[in-house]
Structures are given as structure tokens and as C-alpha cells.
Amino acid sequence: MSKQPQPISPLKNFFAGGFGGVCLVFAGHPLDTIKVRLQTQPKPKPGERLLYAGTLDCCKKTLAKEGVKGLYKGMAAPIIGVTPMFAVCFFGFGLGKKLQQKSPDDILTYPQLFAAGMLSGVFTTAIMAPGERIKCLLQIQASTGQVKYAGPMDCVKQLYRESGIRGIYKGTALTLMRDVPASGMYFTSYEWIKNLLTPPGKSHNELSVPSVLFAGGMAGIFNWAVAIPPDVLKSRFQTAPEGKYPNGFRDVLRELVREEGVTSLYKGFNAVMLRAFPANAACFLGFELAMKFLNWAAPDL
């Protein structure tokens, strides 16, 4: 349960969430590049070794070949996409909380927080699905060596030309399957850990920076523990050639489990978890600091 001295303002959540998103991209993008390269690397021919042996090897090879810039490849798209996305995500969470309150000082239960988190997942998918598809396509073309798209806008134009709006929104159902339960988990675990770390009688607005970083980082880990299997399916589905999986994610799931076993659903696990902690710690710290600033600058918003 949480004490809420300040009435919930979805609008403040929107701006503070956007700032949190920028912090998240800066902290997490290098490992995101590694995650996508590991998840989509080609199957080795008989007798050949995998292109990347694992997270560290992928990082070393990327640095050797492309320098630090290689790890920050394709970051413009997430900065442009993630800022509004986290703004909308935190707005959705704020709105979900506000809709469930009978009065402004109502304290929400964990199931109510989970429901508010799931609502934020629906909100973000609308923005997220096209951005994710474009990001995955741009990230893999660097490692496959075939340059088909000049950049994000060119990618949108070509997809639209090839298969209309559906081409841009390919994988939306999978993005929903990933983000709705994962967002519920994300916000609930954040509030839960904040409550655990708050000494009795204190408000969790007074939590120290390390405590906020720890709660945010752990929320990221809980979020991804739920999100990785649908995320692997989504990366596969969104980067597959047109018509390869006629029945959508069921085909991807069948092929993956048949060829590589159930553990393949947790591909890129180390890269994701290594990134999830610092990126989400940075995100929630950015969010809390921006919230403090907004409450101070515009108390009535």
C-alpha cells in the first residue's frame, strides 16, 4: 500500500515519464544492440562456429569492428520513439491509477496497480509496435551486411510501399502479448519494492537515490522476466521475410521450440538482464527527479 500526499496527475506523469525514457535509452542502448544481434544471428553451417559466442564476445567484436559508436547504432530512433513512449506509458499508468480511485487520497492495492500498469501497456503498444519493427530491421541489417534501408524514415517508406500500414504494424499482437502483462509487472514490482524499502512512518517520496535506483532496476528485471519469451518471438516474426509465418506467432513458436528447444525462448537473457537493471534504474530515477521538479514548479497541474 502506498501513501499518496500529492493527487495523481497523469499530465505530470507524461512529462516525467518522457524524461525517464531519455535516461533509459542512454543507459541501456549499447546492451539493446547486443541483445538484438544475439537474438537474430544466423544459424551456423555444419562445422562452423556461431558468429557471437555470447554477450561479452558480441560486445568485444562490435567494439573491435565499429568502435563505441557501433554500440550506439540506431539510437536516434529510440530517443525519438522512447521519449513519447515512456511519456505515454507513465501517463497510462497515472490514468489507470486515477480511474480506480474513488477519492484523491485513496490508496491502491497491488492488483489495482497491476491493472493500471496493464493499461499503460496498451497505450504504449500503439506507438511501440512500428518503432520496434523498424529498430529490429535496422539493427540486423548492420550484422547481416545487406543494406536495404538508408535509415528509419526510409524503412517506414519502403514498408508502407510494400504492404501498407499493415507492414508497419506487423507484430502488434505480439507486442501487446509482451507489453501488457510486463507493464503490469513493471509498475507493481516498482511500487512493491519501494514500499519494502520505505521505513515505517515515512513516505516513499523521501527514499534515497540508491533505494530508487534499486527499486527501478529490480522492476526492470521483473518486467523482462515476463517479457522475454514474447520478445524473442516478436524479434523473429518482425524480421522474418514476408509470408514465412502464415499463422503468425504460433508458427514462430513451433519452429523455435522444434529447432532449438524451449530454452531458445530465453535467448539474449544475459544481455537483457544486464541492460534491464541500469536502464530502468536510470529511468525511474529520472522519473522521480522530474516528478519532484514538476511538483515544485507546478503544484496545481
Q: What is the pLDDT of residue 5?
A: 56
DSSP H helical ranges for 169-208: 172-197
CB-based contacts of 196: which residues, under 8 Å, 6+ apart? none
What is the reported pLDDT for 190?
96
Q: Among all chains, which residue has been given the C-alpha cell 540508491?
A: 210
Reduced to 3 states (helix: H, G, I; strand: E, B; else coil), residue 5 is: coil
Tens of pLDDT, residue by residue over 88-120, are 999 999 999 999 998 888 889 999 999 999 999
Q: What is the pLDDT of residue 287?
A: 97
Please, how many CA atoms are within 13 Å of residue 292, restricted to the half-sphere of its CB?
10
Which residues, other chains included, contact 84 with Cβ-Cβ below 8 Å and sequence gap of 6+? 18, 21, 127
List, for the chain, all residue ranges whose pLDDT scores fall below the cut of 70. Answer: 1-5
- Cα 192 to Cα 137: distance, rounded to the nearest angstrom: 36
Cell of 234: 516478436
